[in-house]
Amino acid sequence: MAEDVEQVNPNLVVRDAKGEVYIVRYDAVNAMLLNEFLKGHRKVQELEKQVEKLTAGLQKVSAQVEMSRPTSQVVVSKQ
């Protein structure tokens, strides 16, 4: 497993005296995962703000389109 971790991030493993991968630095893995989670969380917050702005813009445009539509007129003819 340590070899797999090394492929992803060599800084997360400790080597023995021979230079071979010895153990995973789990304390560093936790810090890395927390950092990645926080980055993802910030990105989600930014996207939520964008969605709110786009939704507000869409509602505004939809209202303008509704207002610009001609109203239907019914003509009654007497014969």
Query: What confidence tens digit (pLDDT) does each residue in 19-71 have?
Result: 889 999 988 888 888 999 999 999 999 999 999 999 999 999 999 988 888 77
Q: In whole angstroms, give the CA distance from residue 60 to residue 48.
A: 18
Average pLDDT over residues 13-23: 90
Name the residue with higher pLDDT: 8 or 39. 39
pLDDT at residue number 78: 78
DSSP string covering 35-76, please?
HHHHHHHHHHHHHHHHHHHHHHHHHHHHHHHHHHSPPP----
Domain definitions of the chain by residue range = 2-67
